[in-house]
Amino acid sequence: MFNLFKNNPATSYTNVSAAEFKQLQEDKNALVLDVRTAGEVAGGKIKEARNIDMLSGSFDKQLQELDKSKTYLLYCRNGNRSAQAASKMASMGFDKVYNLKGGIASWPYEQTR
């Protein structure tokens, strides 16, 4: 089976565990993006995460305004939407994109409200 993400570096991102995600957060060049809805975020989020709702009509525009030289750590509830968002970002030319495998549901660390 052809794997688009593995064979085409222009559209690749990396899935990481919660421990790897937490370690990547220590990079001062890294930004955490929560791609859930505002209602989901109200229930708790990863510290210092910026919310950019993937389901909003302005999602693509908000992505275009981001600095492509930064490292982006994405998550959602279970990892599906953030994987789609990570793929989109990679196809837009973002080089350092990481997706939290299992989403915030797999996050054993502290969350903020």
User: The domain spanning residue 37 has which CATH number?
Assistant: 3.40.250.10
> Is there a domain that residue 4 lies in?
no
> Is there a domain that residue 98 lies in?
yes
> Is there a domain that residue 72 lies in?
yes
Instruction: Tell me how many domains the chain contains.
Output: 1
Range of the domain at 92: 14-112
The yes-or-no verdict on residue 62 having pLDDT over 70 is yes
Alpha-carbon span 62 to 74, nearest angstrom:
14
The yes-or-no verdict on residue 4 having pLDDT over 60 is no
What pTM was computed for the model?
0.88
Reported as a single tens digit per residue, the pLDDT across 16-60 is 999 999 999 999 999 999 999 999 999 999 999 999 999 999 999
Is 65 among the catalytic positions? no
* Confidence band for 11, pLDDT divided at 50, 70 and 90: low
| Residue 7: other Cβ atoms inside 10 A | 9
Please tell me which residue in 54, 76, 97, 104 is annotated as part of the active site. 76
DSSP secondary structure letters along 40-74: HHTT-EETTPEE--TTSTTHHHHHHTS-TTSEEEE
